[in-house]
Amino acid sequence: MYNFLLDKRHNVPYNSITQMKILYWRYKKMFCKNCGQEISEEAVVCPHCGVATENFRLGDKQPIVEKNGIAVAGFVCSFFIPILGWIFGGIGLSRANKRNGKGKGFSIASLVIATIMFFVYLGQNLS
């Protein structure tokens, strides 16, 4: 039905809609902003001049964020098992000092809450 249409670049007949889609995606091209040569749309750098294309973005790489999960665990545990709150809070505080303060608030809060909860539980057991 569509045999009269030809891809002028590759002399391939368009005989179906599917083949037209395949040809479109296979030969999708863009041009280098530096040298003007035609390059693949998936290219990260121009194969002719070596300049980075729009696909090459340094901003796409997210910085690795170091999370202090131990500090959060200490905070949660401090409400129910104060000794674990002290242990995890202490470890979390040590890690926070090494990681520019990430989780320092949770660590200090877990130590304080664990101490308060310890005395609350101690008071309940003595009465």
The boundaries of the domain holding residue 32 are: 6-57
4-57 pLDDT, tens digit each: 444 455 555 555 555 555 555 556 667 788 887 878 777 778 888 888 877 776
Are 42 and 86 in a shared domain? Answer: no
Tokens representing residue 99 in the block: 């990681």
- How far apart, in whole angstroms, are the C-alpha atoms of residue 95 and residue 86? 14
Residue listed under structure tokens 């964020």: 65
Which pairing describes strands 29-31 and 12-13: parallel, antiparallel, or unpaired?
Answer: unpaired
63-79 pLDDT, tens digit each: 556 678 899 999 999 99
Buried/exposed code over 53-67 (b: 16+ C-beta within 10 A; e: otherwise): beeeeeeeeeeeeee
pTM: 0.49
Are 44 and 85 in a shared domain? Answer: no
Q: Which amino acid is at 103?
A: G
Are 121 and 89 in a shared domain? Answer: yes
What value does the mean pLDDT take over residues 57-66?
57
Q: Which amino acid is at 16?
A: S
